[in-house]
Structure 1
């Protein structure tokens, strides 16, 4: 049987005029995501006092949000305005790689955040000797690159499959959905996918839970003032973790283990939650809870507004001067 070179996104068919409303919603969401996360990245990069492990990890979350959504929003918005809704096999596998590596990077960063908070609370005097910028850079590199290599191998294995069908019932490319369209034995890719899921999702999640349980035990044995300060620094990370974990668990459960008859819009919502909500929620949570980040963002905005006002007044003065000179000459 001839192998398929294109896939068709079936959920975009027969949307009618509602696709323009969905396009507008997607465009607004994407602009909000880019704006919020770029503000966080710039605030942390430009402020030297924020060049600390915790803030660097927060900027990593924002960088990862920009990276992951870049593979989803432009493509889905173009599909909403298109009449064909097709994607080449190569582009589909690349989108799978970016979206899955976005997921593993998020879990890796949340794991490093939990480790950072655990060291800061359990060994406050040795914290700066244990969590140095060099150590943090190495940890980020290892925990981002290794899962991406594993996902790349999964992409190569998927590309070697022979496809018997070309209809994807998703709004983005999903590796498991592609494997289900194959007419060859997908045992190897399924086993490898389970391995990647364990090392990039299950193990980091277990380590995160272990870290926060240990933190809670330490807080229970400490003074109320210490407990309040420790929980104040951990709660934003826990909120981000719970939201992202729920989104991933919902998506994996619906894709692999559950075959429920539910409305299409509801299944699409559950499959997109991990791609849409965290990139918006993350910068909002950190900007609202960390005074240093919020102060830097507002000072940058005020500075930019002041520059714009000065430029505006300067241009008007220049125009007025030229007009005056012109009138004097006449």
Structure 2
């Protein structure tokens, strides 16, 4: 039966009947969401309210936290509702809206991390020229390009998917996923595949090349520089590198699950893998930056009236 994706609904087929255990899942998920909102909002407020943190590195971090609030809000309220629901149907319009939020979150996150690596490269390799190379206007442009490119790219992708004619409406995940909808298509998906291939290649390899280049340069400076230079590089690059690795693992797990048959993997493990990049990253990054960056750590201590 032909199904018009623009005026129908989808069924999320990965949910299981967990009985009263659902309330435990609901409480744990709600606590996780509250924690994400708290740590990201706290970091944004600390950066915005303290002029000493109005530096490029912290402004990029602020953009990262805003994006993580955006991405987690695109997932958690919906997830909490579905956990308590007995019928897991989603209107197509809302499904595409969720895809838009989650995919644009992932794109902004990756590009933001790439821009942050470029910022650290300038700070470590060109410390005397840093303020002239990384001006406030340049920071604003880099953040704007990161968001605008991601928003437009995903908008085109969604419009292409929404125009497909579908022969089914069951998505075997706990949230809406673009590739899962494309696989349901009866109509020709050549344009979708070509667009996805070229844009994804640019969106992945572009930031990866920039990140690889910057870290090669940083390592060269570390090996040839003083002990103080190495300590500065470690203290500023460690949270960024850890955040990058964490996000990359989560995104890779999600891509593998979308592209390959994972029926041999236990259902709960598949659900955890599919949610990892949108649940762990928004909590992991701000906590890590808050603990590793001395300025933020000291401000947090002073706000809580702690003594060094």
Q: Distance in 1 between matches of 2:302 and 2:272?
A: 37
DSSP-derived class of the 2:86 partner: coil
Give 1 or 2 for the bigger CA radius of gyration.
1
Whether the aligned pair in 2 keeps the contact of 1:39 and 1:297 (CA below 8 Å) is no
Q: Distance in 2 between matches of 1:173 and 1:104?
A: 17
Deviation at 1:257, TM superposition (A): 4.3
Do the aligned partners of residues 27 and 301 (structure 1) sit closer, same or farther apart at CA in structure 2, a change above 3 Å counting?
Answer: same
Q: Distance in 2 between matches of 1:29 and 1:293?
A: 22
- Runs (4 or more) in structure 1 with deviation over 6 Å come to none
Q: Distance in 1 between matches of 2:92 and 2:113?
A: 32
Counterpart check, 1:299 vs 2:292: no
Counterpart check, 1:282 vs 2:295: no
Aligned ranges 1:111-122 → 2 under 5 Å: 111-122=114-125
Quote the residue 2:4 is aligned against. 3
One of 200, 205, 221 as aligned partner of 1:202: 205
Quote the residue 2:22 is aligned against. 19
Quote the residue 2:140 is aligned against. 137
Q: Distance in 2 between matches of 1:288 and 1:259?
A: 37
Q: Distance in 2 between matches of 1:178 and 1:287?
A: 39
Deviation at 1:302, TM superposition (A): 4.6
Whether the aligned pair in 2 keeps the contact of 1:147 and 1:196 (CA below 8 Å) is no
Quote the residue 1:309 is aligned against. none
Counterpart check, 1:171 vs 2:201: no
DSSP-derived class of the 2:11 partner: strand
Q: Which moved more, 1:294-303 or 1:157-166?
A: 294-303
Q: Which structure carries more helix by proportion?
A: 1
Quote the residue 2:66 is aligned against. 63
Whether the aligned pair in 1 keeps the contact of 2:48 and 2:54 (CA below 8 Å) is yes
Quote the residue 2:251 is aligned against. 248
Aligned-residue RMSD, C-alpha: 1.5
Deviation at 1:157, TM superposition (A): 0.6
Q: Distance in 1 between matches of 2:29 and 2:199?
A: 30
Q: Which runs of 5+ in 1 are unaligned?
A: 304-330
Q: Distance in 2 between matches of 1:197 and 1:15?
A: 37
Q: Distance in 1 between matches of 2:48 and 2:150?
A: 26
Q: TM-score, normalised by structure 2?
A: 0.94
Aligned length: 303
Counterpart check, 1:263 vs 2:257: no
Deviation at 1:73, TM superposition (A): 0.3
Q: TM-score, normalised by structure 1?
A: 0.88
Counterpart check, 1:89 vs 2:92: yes
Whether the aligned pair in 1 keeps the contact of 2:166 and 2:185 (CA below 8 Å) is yes
Whether the aligned pair in 1 keeps the contact of 2:290 and 2:297 (CA below 8 Å) is yes
Deviation at 1:276, TM superposition (A): 0.8
Whether the aligned pair in 2 keeps the contact of 1:158 and 1:189 (CA below 8 Å) is yes
